């Protein structure tokens, strides 16, 4: 497949990107800078990615370590 070639199939991209699109998505730990938020928020639509809305309970991982929260 060449870059720029039109896609005919749907793709699902998921994973731990280690960044958030808004402050509302972040709890505990070091808060991201405005530049980090903007960078990720601009990247997604430029790649044609759409954020699927959350339904039900949020999932998070927390190791009960105040020194290194995720």
Q: How many structural domains is the chain composed of?
A: 1
pTM of the predicted protein model: 0.52
pLDDT of residue 56: 75
37 domain residue, yes or no: yes
pLDDT of residue 63: 61
26 domain residue, yes or no: yes
12 domain residue, yes or no: no
7 domain residue, yes or no: no
H helices of 1-70, where? 34-46
8 domain residue, yes or no: no
Regions of the chain where pLDDT drops below 70: 1-3, 58-70
Query: CB within 8 A of 19, min separation 6: which ones?
Result: 32, 36, 39, 40
63 domain residue, yes or no: no
Burial track 49-58 (b if 16+ CB lie within 10 A, e otherwise) = eeeeeeeeee
25 domain residue, yes or no: yes
pLDDT of residue 57: 73
pLDDT of residue 59: 65
Query: CB within 8 A of 50, min separation 6: which ones?
Result: 44
Per the structure, the complete domain to which residue 32 belongs is given by 18-53
């Amino acid at each position: 497949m060449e870059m720029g070639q039109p896609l005919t199939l749907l793709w699902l991209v998921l994973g731990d990107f280690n960044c958030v699109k808004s402050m509302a998505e972040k709890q505990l730990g070091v808060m991201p800078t405005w530049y980090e938020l903007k960078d990720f928020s601009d990247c997604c639509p430029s790649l044609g990615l759409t954020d699927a809305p959350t339904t039900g309970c949020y999932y998070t991982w927390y190791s009960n370590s105040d020194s290194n929260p995720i």
